[in-house]
């Protein structure tokens, strides 16, 4: 019974409906703010840290990055360079 309830709640639509509307809207706006178009066909959603790094690279600032493993440093750099070259 618990497994069934858990799987039902975590289906995308039911999960979104489980949030109060103001919280859902805040999450949606935050996600939209962190979405970057890297080509005509490809969008990526970044974390706040990744978005800040992206903006610094985009402004051609000198950047030193110190972040934990799997923070997305290489991910952002690879996608940024690919976007520049396309």
Give pLDDT tens digits for 32-64.
899 998 888 889 999 999 999 999 999 988 989
58 with 81, same domain: the answer is: yes
Q: Are residues 62 and 85 in the same domain?
A: yes
Count of domains for the chain? 2
Check whether residue 12 and residue 51 sit in a common domain: no
Alpha carbons 74 and 79: distance in angstroms, whole number: 8
Which tens digit of pLDDT belongs to each residue from 3-28? 565 565 555 566 666 777 788 788 88
In terms of pTM, does the model score above 0.75?
no
* 54 lies in the same domain as 81: yes
Structural domain span for residue 77: 34-86
């Amino acid at each position: 019974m618990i497994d069934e309830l858990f799987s039902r709640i975590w289906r995308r639509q039911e999960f979104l409906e489980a949030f109060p509307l103001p919280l859902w809207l805040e999450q949606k706006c935050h996600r939209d703010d962190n979405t970057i178009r890297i080509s005509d066909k490809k969008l990526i959603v970044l974390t706040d840290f990744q978005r800040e790094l992206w903006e610094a690279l985009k402004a051609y600032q000198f950047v030193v990055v110190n972040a934990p493993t799997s923070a997305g440093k290489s991910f952002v750099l690879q996608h940024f360079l690919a976007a520049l070259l396309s």
